[in-house]
Amino acid sequence: MKNKTILITGGTTGIGLATAQLLQADGARIIVTGRNPDTLASARATLGKAAVVIASDSGSLADARALGSEVGKHASTIDGVFLNAGVGKFAPFQDHTPEEFESMFGINVRGLFFQLQSLLAILADPSSVVLNASVVAQLGFPGASIYSATKAAVVSLGKTLAVELAPRGIRVNTISPGPIATPIYNKLGMTPEAVKGFEDTMAAQSLLKRVGRADEIARAARFLLSEDSSYVTGSELLVDGGVRLT
């Protein structure tokens, strides 16, 4: 990754930050986005002055469509992008609200779609695009009706965009993580006890009998962003500890 410029959306916490740290250690120049002032400040302290940290809300259509021009202020071209920003809220189907539907689709699908569209002018030929989905796109997981639908849409987009962008040499692949210990668990609208129960349930359903770590997804992202995956496009890489097989 030496001398590569990589953009990571949602790169101030969790999987995004772990990926930023890993790629930075490998010699890449890192640009990350986030929307929370506190995590933006924390990421600046963690990644140092060599990294670029941009305030950008994936749920804002205006911010999504302006991302390319904002990144262009710091880099004339980028060699890869990890579209990682996402949110989730679990609830029974009958309890979900229109606002939750709009929020999750707005960030997880619309935001990702228009962020990538805005970046086309500065993506190098060739380059690599990695989308972050979820294993729930493959499973019927209770309480995840909206979230699962958004991630299934991301997987589908990955396959279509791989075809459309192939003439430019832009590879598009998707990572579908299983249960990963990240701060997103604290944003699911569940009590700490419910979060612990969720983690225990998912660990029990995993062949490896544990939840994953953010750095394990980061290493998968590095593979897809690097030349090590130069003949891989249109794929979905499941990094889930075997949850789908139980």
Full-model pTM: 0.93
* 231 catalytic per annotation: no
Catalytic site residue from 90, 141, 147, 185: 147
Q: CATH no. for residue 37?
A: 3.40.50.720
With a CB cutoff of 8 Å and minimum separation 6, the contacts of 68 are 118, 119, 120, 121, 122
Cα 114 to Cα 75: distance, rounded to the nearest angstrom? 19
Query: Which pLDDT tens digits describe the chain residue by residue (246 residues)?
Result: 999 999 999 999 999 999 999 999 999 999 999 999 999 999 999 999 999 999 999 999 999 999 999 999 999 999 999 999 999 998 999 999 999 999 999 999 999 999 999 999 999 999 999 999 999 998 888 889 999 999 999 999 999 999 999 999 999 999 999 989 876 655 555 677 777 777 788 788 889 999 999 999 999 999 999 999 999 999 999 999 998 776
CB under 8 A, 24+ apart: contacts of 154-161: 154/108, 154/109, 154/112, 155/131, 155/236, 157/109, 157/112, 157/113, 157/131, 158/131, 158/133, 158/234, 158/236, 159/234, 159/236, 161/116, 161/129
pLDDT for 246 equals 64
pLDDT for 223 equals 98
Indicate the number of domains in the chain.
1
pLDDT for 98 equals 97
User: Cα Rg for the chain, rounded, in angstroms?
Assistant: 17
pLDDT digits 0-9 by tens, 154-166: 999 999 999 999 9
Q: Domain span at residue 36?
A: 5-245
pLDDT for 33 equals 98
